[in-house]
Structure 1
Amino acid sequence: MSIRDWPDGERPREKLLARGAGVLSDAELLAVFLGSGRRGLSAVDLARNLLADAGGLKPLLDAPRAQAGIGAVAWCRLAAALETGRRYLDAELRRGEALTDPSASARYLKARLAGYPYEVFACLFLDNRHRVIVFEELFRGSIDGASVHPREVVRRCLVHNAAAVIFAHNHPSGIAEPSAADRAITQRLREALELVDVRLLDHFVVGQGTPTSLAQRGWL
């Protein structure tokens, strides 16, 4: 049965307009971007098949287009939507207001780092009122680690005249539990930054679910 034959209250676009995007399932959201299905499959059915084959929404969106099984037009729509979301979060942090909500920082850092299949260490450089100066990816590594060099971190702080920083790195495994190595490098970075009067506010580990804050764990 075509989606056009469904009751109005069950069609993804009509549901979105009437009740908001939050009520849609992953398959329904994906169907909105696909626009149409294939012979014998509605857009929602096609979306369900794509999600099942990929193992969920995140693996589907992280996969190269050739592996995802999505046409070029639909893939461009999805990629543009993801980038729009990242830039929206980026704009939230660039409003000129001081960072007072750790959850906003965590959402932004997850949006920037969660999709990488390898480890990335990044930094939010802040001024003396804890307003964002710039976000930078500083180091990239393999699937299970990235080498972090305190001297380079200090150098970038001086370049940006930062008064404080928030670090973040992703765990491609999806497990956001800080390792002993994570805690050790955080301590080394804090000690190095203290020499140039830069305060380390937090270090987030990004995986599945909510990023883990080392500050909230009492490790800073």
Structure 2
Amino acid sequence: MYHPQPIRTWAAHERPRERLYAHGAAALSDAELLAVLLGNGSMGCDAVATGRALLAGAGSLGRLLAEPDDLPRVSGVGPVKRARLIATLELARRALGEGLVQLPCIQNPRDSAEYLRARMRHLRTEVFACLFLDTRHRVLAYEELFRGTIDGASVYPREVVRACLRHHASAVILAHNHPSGIAEPSRADRDITLTLVNALALMDIRVLDHLIIGQGDPFSMAERGMLVA
């Protein structure tokens, strides 16, 4: 329901904060949750409407989560509110990875698939990232190494090797997203994967998988036998 009046004048059972206390955060819409974070809106635009404008500008909640540093410009959201939102969204992203880091080890690259899907599925441009693992396949770090255009990112093997050495990794899971949503490897994807497998093998670093993130389940190149020539 749209209200032209400030939220403080709404009926108590319609105010986002009161609804959160009464029914829990899951009962609130995405815009209402953003309204709670914002605290207030601007002249002629309440916090819920401002939340809707943020979601509309980003395109979806997933894209807002995926790229918090690139929040859409919305009236009533100045530097303080932007900083508050960016910090909160970053906390949400880090929370996604806590369970992954706390795993005793990654028994199967699929253990990391949902984390990588949550981090990368909604990105608007192609990003190449790595999960760095120790000798027991415990997660050391996640790092986005290359960003590109909507249909490709240049990957430099020397920089991947350097990043693995910097993190003292013994194994690595490669990942990149396809903004088109089609999680099928291109010929270039297969070629760069084999190049990285061979380059990292010289440093005694094993590539466990290369996951391609699109719509639906990530595509595992290891499961399809694509890590060998």
Give me the TM-score of the superposition, normalised by structure 2: 0.73
1:48 CA drift (Å): 2.6
Aligned residue runs from structure 1 range 129-208, under 5 A: 129-207=136-214
Indicate which of 50, 58, 67 corresponds to 2:73.
67
Structure 2 CA distance, aligned partners of 1:50 and 1:138? 28
Query: Match of 2:199, SS?
Result: helix
- Equivalent position of 2:220 in the other structure: 213
Task: Check whether the contact 1:54–1:68 (CA below 8 A) recurs between aligned residues.
Answer: no
Query: Match of 1:143, SS?
Result: coil
1:139–1:42 CA distance, 2 compared to 1 (3 A): closer
Task: Check whether the contact 2:54–2:72 (CA below 8 A) recurs between aligned residues.
Answer: no
Structure 2 CA distance, aligned partners of 1:66 and 1:53? 5
1:52–1:85 CA distance, 2 compared to 1 (3 A): closer
1:106 CA drift (Å): 3.2
Query: Match of 1:89, SS?
Result: helix
1:79–1:19 CA distance, 2 compared to 1 (3 A): same
Structure 2 CA distance, aligned partners of 1:137 and 1:50? 25
Structure 2 CA distance, aligned partners of 1:49 and 1:97? 42
Structure 2 CA distance, aligned partners of 1:20 and 1:176? 36
1:196–1:54 CA distance, 2 compared to 1 (3 A): closer
Structure 2 CA distance, aligned partners of 1:38 and 1:170? 37
1:44 CA drift (Å): 1.9
Aligned residue runs from structure 1 range 101-116, under 5 A: 105-110=112-117, 112-113=119-120
- Equivalent position of 1:15 in the other structure: 19
Structure 1 CA distance, aligned partners of 2:28 and 2:156? 44
1:6 aligns with 2:15: no
1:82 aligns with 2:89: yes
**Pairwise CA RMSD of aligned residues?**
3.3
Unaligned runs of 5+ in 2: none
Query: Match of 2:208, SS?
Result: strand
1:30–1:176 CA distance, 2 compared to 1 (3 A): farther
Q: State the Cα deviation string for residues 122-149 of structure 1 (Å, max 9, x = none).
A: 2111112111223333333333322223
Structure 1 CA distance, aligned partners of 2:83 and 2:147? 26
1:101–1:78 CA distance, 2 compared to 1 (3 A): farther
Structure 2 CA distance, aligned partners of 1:175 and 1:112? 17
1:72–1:185 CA distance, 2 compared to 1 (3 A): same
Indicate which of 18, 41, 48 corresponds to 1:44.
48
Aligned residue runs from structure 1 range 26-45, under 5 A: 26-45=30-49
Work out the number of aligned pairs and report it: 219
Task: Check whether the contact 2:12–2:18 (CA below 8 A) recurs between aligned residues.
Answer: no
Structure 2 CA distance, aligned partners of 1:15 and 1:107? 30
1:166 CA drift (Å): 0.6
Task: Check whether the contact 1:60–1:68 (CA below 8 A) recurs between aligned residues.
Answer: no
Structure 1 CA distance, aligned partners of 2:25 and 2:185? 33
1:197–1:85 CA distance, 2 compared to 1 (3 A): same
